[in-house]
């Protein structure tokens, strides 16, 4: 399996160092020093690996699917391919670094959205996609809607629009990557 953002080469380096760590002698000062040095280099490699390739997860918090279609455009159509930024969508919140939330946050999805959001490890960056998470958009008068979403989740980047164009989503993700790098 190929990993995004040059992860393959770095991952091989980490595997090699792990093997060396396992085989390096730990008795005596030389062995302990070698062990620590290899460990420090390996941890630096892990950081480099993470910094290069943030993974993105998406939460639909009651959207009409318009924003989600535009997000899918950023994943499937080469012209707007978001992987050019060195990131990619992932299937599990536990692997994610950046979360895109669409929709006005309906009462019905609040608990599920919170549960999934809490599964994303820190330091995570949240991008609110569309005008719905910002103000409720066309659903703002509804009794079923809780927006603005930032009263329930910490939002780092807003991407307004109904739905936002793929270019705006790409720009929002680029901004989110910068915020995420500063937090690492
Ligand atoms: S912002 Fe517009 S397209 Fe996006 S979920 Fe709301 S109504 Fe739908």
**Residues 49-80: tens digit of each pLDDT:** 666 689 999 999 999 999 999 999 998 899 99
**Cβ 158 under 6 angstroms from ligand 1:** no
| Interval 110-138: pLDDT, tens | 999 999 999 999 999 999 999 999 999 99
Please tell me the distance between residue 143's alpha carbon and the centre of ligand 1 in angstroms.
17
Mean pLDDT of the chain: 86
Mean pLDDT of 30-47: 78
Share of the chain above pLDDT 90, in %: 65
Task: Tell me if residue 93 falls in helix, strand or coil.
Answer: helix
Q: Whose CA is nearest to atom 5 of ligand 1?
A: 63
State which ligand 1 atom lies nearest to the alpha carbon of 64.
8
Residue at token pair 């629009």: 161
Higher pLDDT, 21 or 97: 97
CB of residue 138 inside a 6 A radius of ligand 1: yes
Q: What is the number of the ligand 1 atom nearest to the C-alpha of 103?
A: 5
- Spacing, Cα 84 to ligand 1 middle (Å): 25
How far is Cα 22 from Cα 19, in angstroms, rounded to an integer?
A: 5
CA distance 49 to 4: 10
Q: How many residues comprise the chain?
A: 184
Contacts of 33 (CB under 8 A, 6+ apart): none
Angle at the Cα of 120 (from 116 to 124), degrees rounded to 5?
Answer: 130
Would you say the CB of residue 136 lies under 6 angstroms from ligand 1?
A: no
Whether residue 4 is predicted with pLDDT greater than 50 in this model: the reply is no
* 63 touches ligand 1 (CB under 6 Å): yes
Residue 3 tokens, joined? 């990993």
List the residue whose alpha carbon is closest to atom 6 of ligand 1.
132
């Amino acid at each position: 399996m190929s990993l995004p953002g040059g992860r393959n080469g770095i991952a091989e380096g980490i595997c090699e160092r792990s093997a060396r760590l396992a085989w390096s002698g730990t008795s005596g000062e030389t062995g302990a020093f070698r062990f620590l040095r290899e460990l420090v280099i390996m941890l630096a490699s892990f950081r480099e690996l993470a910094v290069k390739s943030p993974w993105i997860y998406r939460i639909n918090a009651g959207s009409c699917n318009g924003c989600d279609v535009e997000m899918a455009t950023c994943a499937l159509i080469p012209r707007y391919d978001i992987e050019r930024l060195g990131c990619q969508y992932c299937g599990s919140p536990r692997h994610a670094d950046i979360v895109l939330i669409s929709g006005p946050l309906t009462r019905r999805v609040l608990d599920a959205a919170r549960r999934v959001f809490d599964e994303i490890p820190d330091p995570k960056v949240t991008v609110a996609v569309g005008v719905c998470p910002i103000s409720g958009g066309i659903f703002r008068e509804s009794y079923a809607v809780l927006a603005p979403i930032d009263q329930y989740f910490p939002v780092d980047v807003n991407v307004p629009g109904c739905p936002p164009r793929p270019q705006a989503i790409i720009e929002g993700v680029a901004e989110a990557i910068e915020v995420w790098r500063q937090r690492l």
